Structure 1
Amino acid sequence: MFRRRRREQAKHVAGETVAAPTREYGPWDADEPHPDHDRIDLGGLRLPHNAAFDVRLASVGDQHVGVVVLWEESSLQLQALAAPKSGGLWEEIKTKIKSSAKTLEERDGVFGTELAGQVTVEGATRPARYIGIDGPRWFLLAVVNGRAAVDDQVAEAFLDFVKDIVVVRGDEPMAREESIPLRRPSDPADEVDEEPINPFRRGPEITETR
């Protein structure tokens, strides 16, 4: 769990005018104008602070592959992937998810089309929402499990969190759908727990952090 606020590194020098955001909300690309306030810097993702959330890095071996947020009998799982310049990765991933979970249905959400319904994992059925957001050369997958998947009031806090995420794609070549690398906060004062699991297997078999 992240236990201390840390100021996001400023991208301007004193006296330089910071451009205003051109959109109402994100997720933001690191290279576009976005609100400058405290965020947790994990390298490929910069996350807003919410003192009520238990935020953890999900890892496989020594590689950090995503983020898990726990709150109110719910989880929000996040993974940023490299995407082609042409975009449209959500349409492809959405089709894959639907083919393996026919109980999920498309519906309109704040970020566009999402998938919602019941999924079965390890013999247990639970509600889930799959939200995909196409960015410039990146794709962000957000999966909501538990109470927040059916309770709009609880889900709103998760959605507000996603709206203020900054994705740092970088300029290095990456394979299609390769995870954008994450890291522990560089400031030793920012303590962070890790989950030595991979909760991001594509499709409804996605597992919760326990």
Structure 2
Amino acid sequence: MTKVFRRRRREQPEQAFEQERAAPVRETGPWDADEPHPDNDRIDLGGLRLPHNPDFDVRLASVGDQHVGVVVLYQESTLQLQALAAPRSSGLWDEVKTKIRGQAKDLTEQEGPFGSELTGEIKAEGGPRSVRYLGIDGPRWFLLGVVSGKGTHDEAISEAFVDFIKDVVVVRGDEPMAREEPIPLRRPNEQTGEVADQGPGLNPFKRGPEISEIR
């Protein structure tokens, strides 16, 4: 069942003040939580803070009791996002690309908005499926995005997904983590304990951030 949660600002007041004083050094993200970045309204899932877009349906992907990624549904297309721990000394994208191409040899490498990416078709239940793999190396983290459906070739949907990724904030944390270990995610209410209610002033026809689970 899909539950609707309150949106919360991702920074405390003193943190927001620091963000106002320090302007972002880059035009777009994805951002590291410790670098200056725009103080936009985001959905706080712990290891990922996602831009709030009422047109997107955001779902947590879980393995057992662990939330390992998110799936964003939009216009008959999906964007899967997963944040992994990476070494300080080097990124993971080159290594991950090699692994992906070892399993899907027909993919083509090309330049995209985040650097090199892989596109093409993979074998799936029901027949071949068009996919697009985007990888972004950050400080001690790696963000993998996988687009499937119309978003692989429809320019408008593709741009919407790219804009979404550009406003993602990755929260790596200081805890020791193994190489390629998924950065932990959580449901919003696991931190705040607050669930939206149908109170006065709430427009029932305006969608908010919807977080359900895929297992």
TM-score, normalised to structure 1's length? 0.88
For 1:58, the equivalent position in structure 2 comes to 61
CA distance in 2, matches of 1:30, 1:104: 32
CA distance in 1, matches of 2:176, 2:15: 29
Runs of 4+ residues over 2 Å off in structure 1: 1-6, 9-18, 186-192
CA distance in 1, matches of 2:11, 2:91: 31
1:128-181 C-alpha deviation (Å, 9 max, x unpaired)? 000000000000000000000111211111100000000000011000000000
Equivalent runs, 1:13-162 vs 2, <5 Å: 17-162=20-165
For 1:200, the equivalent position in structure 2 comes to none
1:99 Cα offset (Å)? 1.3
Alpha-carbon RMSD across the aligned residues, in angstroms, is 1.7
Q: 1:101 to 1:13 in 2, by over 3 A?
A: closer
1:72 Cα offset (Å)? 0.6
Q: Is the CA contact (8 Å cut-off) linking 2:75 and 2:157 kept in structure 1?
A: yes
* Structure with greater Cα Rg: 2
AA of the residue aligned to 2:39: D
CA distance in 1, matches of 2:145, 2:115: 13
Give the unaligned 5+ runs of structure 1: 197-210
Q: Is the CA contact (8 Å cut-off) linking 2:93 and 2:142 kept in structure 1?
A: yes
Look up the SS of the partner of 1:192 in the other structure: strand
Q: 1:123 to 1:142 in 2, by over 3 A?
A: same
Is 2:177 the partner of 1:174?
yes
**By percentage of residues, which structure has more helix?**
2
Larger deviation, residues 9-18 vs 174-183:
9-18
AA of the residue aligned to 1:195: I
1:63-116 C-alpha deviation (Å, 9 max, x unpaired)? 000000011110000000000011221000001101111110100000000000
For 1:192, the equivalent position in structure 2 comes to 211
CA distance in 2, matches of 1:14, 1:26: 18
Look up the SS of the partner of 1:154 in the other structure: helix
Look up the SS of the partner of 1:12 in the other structure: helix
AA of the residue aligned to 2:117: E
CA distance in 1, matches of 2:11, 2:152: 33
For 1:202, the equivalent position in structure 2 comes to none
Q: 1:92 to 1:49 in 2, by over 3 A?
A: same
Give the unaligned 5+ runs of structure 2: 197-209
Q: Is the CA contact (8 Å cut-off) linking 2:91 and 2:138 kept in structure 1?
A: no
**Identity in percent:** 66
1:14 Cα offset (Å)? 8.2
- Number of residue pairs matched by the alignment: 196
AA of the residue aligned to 1:67: V
Q: 1:36 to 1:146 in 2, by over 3 A?
A: same
TM-score, normalised to structure 2's length? 0.86
Q: Is the CA contact (8 Å cut-off) linking 2:16 and 2:39 kept in structure 1?
A: no
1:12 to 4, 9, 14: 14
